[in-house]
């Protein structure tokens, strides 16, 4: 009976060790993925900031090119089918 108990404990310990190894592997994989996502997010944030800056520049240039005559009178009326 004692040998059976030792065998069960040994099997249980092996099973727990396998589960622990599996969890540690998954955790390491998830840490790596989180780091990759963090780098990608930082890159996207920089690109968005750059695009916002470029959009502001373009918007400013468009405003400079618009004639300031007449204000709302320059808007064309809608076509007759409206």
Q: Report if residue 76 sits inside a domain.
A: no
Q: Report if residue 4 sits inside a domain.
A: no
Q: Report if residue 16 sits inside a domain.
A: no
* Mean pLDDT per 10-residue interval, the chain, length 82 residues: 63 93 97 98 98 97 78 71 72
Which range of residues forms the domain containing residue 39?
A: 35-61
b/e per residue, 37-65, with b = 16+ CB within 10 A?
eeeeeeeeeeeeeeeeeeeeeeeeeeeee
Total of domains in the chain:
1
Q: Report if residue 51 sits inside a domain.
A: yes
Q: Report if residue 19 sits inside a domain.
A: no
Q: Report if residue 47 sits inside a domain.
A: yes
Please give the model's pTM, rounded to 2 decimal places. Answer: 0.56
Question: Could you tell me if 3 and 11 are in contact, meaning their C-beta atoms sit under 8 angstroms apart?
Answer: no
Q: Report if residue 22 sits inside a domain.
A: no
Q: Report if residue 70 sits inside a domain.
A: no
CA atoms in the 13 A half-sphere facing the CB of 33: 6
């Amino acid at each position: 009976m004692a040998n059976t108990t030792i065998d069960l404990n040994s099997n249980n310990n092996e099973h727990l060790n396998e589960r622990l190894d599996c969890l540690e592997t998954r955790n390491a994989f998830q840490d790596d993925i989180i780091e990759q996502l963090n780098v990608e997010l930082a890159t996207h944030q920089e690109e968005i900031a750059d695009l916002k800056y470029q959009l502001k520049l373009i918007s400013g240039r468009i405003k400079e090119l618009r004639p300031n005559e007449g204000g709302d009178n320059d808007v064309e009326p809608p076509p007759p089918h409206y």
